[in-house]
Structure 1
């Protein structure tokens, strides 16, 4: 009877040990799975045999279950690429921002022409070259990455870097220009307004005399008009000349049209837009007022 009892107890113990071993294997399977292994939950956490959830952690050796790389935190899913940089300006765009882009490209010799405010072929080519030189996608379009690189290499352009050939906005007219027929000339903004009765008819960029031959300031009147005038002192052409103070006149200047503000006059008010000055010349009368002010 004792032998049988001993055998019965032994069999029970063996059965209990077998059951414990089987449970241990199941727990190990539930805890070892990652990324779709048996027992892994759909939210990235492992489930215990009883169905309760416990946070996942790094496996031995510092390997992250999410990306399988030693010592790294879970990263973005593989195969994804970064979103492309947002395009700010591209061919066909116009405005002051495009003018600033062109001025900055000109500072570092990627653009030779003066800023125009229009994103054309030359600007696109300059941007493409700038991008290629710096290992950026050479699209010719100015995106946020390209713009930040350009900002870091250049300075804020001044007014005459933005408008070296004219085209700048005019300031408010002087109070003396608000009555009558007036050529209202502003030395601060380098602009001329042709005004009648306080209303601006046309506006154009102008250039003045140099330090040693300055343009006089004050209120004057047109005393002589000469369509094909040539300077007797400097032997230079002064087409559409409207004289207002001695030998000083408002007239078209081919030098201003070619060089912009890199040059200066001998005291006259130069206009670079021949079409604009031709129209004004046709309308201005002898005796009309001229106001030159800061």
Structure 2
């Protein structure tokens, strides 16, 4: 009996230790890190997984084209959506696909009109977040969903000169006081004061293994020139809001875009904007992270 109790105790202890290890991936006590991990690369717009930071997760997103309970395999096959375009395709429609994906943060490159590995990965991430089959091919269901969420690309967008992102929808909790309003849906951070948006910037989140926590928090520490002693990476303009998770500038995000992820922190790639925000945010200001 004693041997059984001891085995159970050890198992529980190891499980608890594993949970703690994940939770302190960016801890101020152990000097946080927010740079992307080469070991967990991600699809453009989906740093390391569709579940960790995928854009525009509408509340009505449900698997489309799936067979109803009890439906036969033949029925399911007949209901399968047609393929609109896939890996290897070329042309203006592919360029439009890439530009539309860029609008919602899934494609972080200049539209080329060639459906290659980057586009396949972006489509796959987009599908996964919306409960669609993660094939990487743009079928009719995927295409129609993307069309409903984006606008017709301008000439500038098709040329990769601009990206017209939809205005982020502010969470109701962001409408009072001074708030860093961080949307995982649009992948943006909006600095909001008394319900009015002062500035907006692109952000990147943690991977599926080190996810950025969601909820309402407060800034409890600021460190202008912070450096991680664990990963030996710079974290300029760090503003900590939950344990070791912070909003900070990331040179890796600036260089690689969404082809990477943080260890749980909220990465900003525009150094000028994060520097200005750092000077405006006070200790105690609210942080809201939401879908």
Q: Which of these two proteins has the greater Rg computed from alpha carbons?
A: 1
Output the TM-score relative to the length of structure 1.
Answer: 0.47
Q: Which has the higher contact order (CA 8 A, sep 6+)?
A: 2
Output the TM-score relative to the length of structure 2.
Answer: 0.47
